[in-house]
Amino acid sequence: MQRRNLLKTAAAVALGLAVSTGALAQEKPIKVGVTGGPHAQIMEQVKKVAAKDGLNIQVVEFSDYIQPNAALAAGDLDANSYQHLPYLEAQIKDRGYKFTHVGFTVTFPMGVYSKKVKSLDQIKQGARVGVPNDPTNGGRGLLLLQAKGLIKLRPDAGLKATPLDIVENPKKIKIVELDAAQLPRSLDDLDAAAINGNYAESAGLSPTRDAIATEGPKGPYANLIAIRAADKDKPWVAKLVKAYHSAEVKQYITNTYKESVITAW
């Protein structure tokens, strides 16, 4: 009888440990990489909403565009939320990442900013104009300059246009390629710069208040949530997207950023 009771006790303890271990495993946070500024701020709101659904999110902040994808590929992140589809597709092609995207998030309109002129008409001959130095955002900046009449690109240049694709440059502006995050801090040294919305916001610049030119409201640059393709059917993925697309997060974005950040779902 004593032996039977001991066995029952041992079994109960083992079951308790198993349940406890399972609970701990479920409580392990999902690590989501973001860039600083609005992406990080919005994800903190997503974290609050997701917690109500039992999903624990750890927000991991990065200062550039390269590391969040490298960290996701290495398994140091479970997801990231900071890039648009053209950039993701370029990264997959160039680096062989096995990623997929599971939901669109927000659009940050790219703008042209300047501390030296008040309009594009005031750009002088030989002016130095900055654009991001990564392929997709650099092309985006050049397309914006083309849309505003400063340059003309080859018709087949597409979203990955480079300065080599410029076929008309009446003011002979000099295109200066810099890391996207550095552009706001380089405005003192440039005549103007095409700056991504998230980095503009982080530097206290508003597309609606400070830009001398901005992208149109429609375009291919909606940001998204990226994950490893192997994880696409895991339950936490649907919970993450659901939390991001919640009414609470949408309201936060509208109230906080007005027209500087636009929801893309």
82 pLDDT above the threshold of 70: yes
- Report long-range pairs for 5-13 (Cβ below 8 Å, ≥24 apart): none
**pLDDT grade, residue 198 (50/70/90)?**
confident
Name the pTM for this structure. 0.74
- Collapsing DSSP to helix, strand or coil, 1 comes out as coil
**DSSP run (H or E) holding 3:** helix 2-27
Q: Which residues neighbour 230 within 8 Å (Cβ) at sequence distance 6 or greater?
A: 98
Tell the burial category of 167 from Cβ atoms under 10 Å away from its Cβ (0-12, 13-18, 19+): exposed
Among the listed residues 128, 136, 99, 119, the one whose alpha carbon sits nearest the alpha carbon of residue 225: 99
The tens digit of pLDDT for each residue in 6-58 reads 445 444 444 454 444 444 444 699 999 999 999 999 999 999 999 999 999 99
Domains of the chain: 28-108+221-263 (3.40.190.10), 111-214 (3.40.190.10)
Nearest-angstrom CA–CA distance, 71 and 210 = 34
At residue 165, does pLDDT exceed 90?
Answer: yes
Q: Residue 201: what pLDDT?
A: 85
C-alpha span between 212 and 143 (Å, rounded):
15
Fill in the amino acid letter for 150: L
**CA atoms in the 13 A half-sphere facing the CB of 11:** 6
**Does the pLDDT at position 113 exceed 80?**
yes
Distance CA 235, CA 26 (A): 11
64-76 pLDDT tens trace:
999 999 999 999 9
Beta-carbon count within 10 A of 149 CB: 12
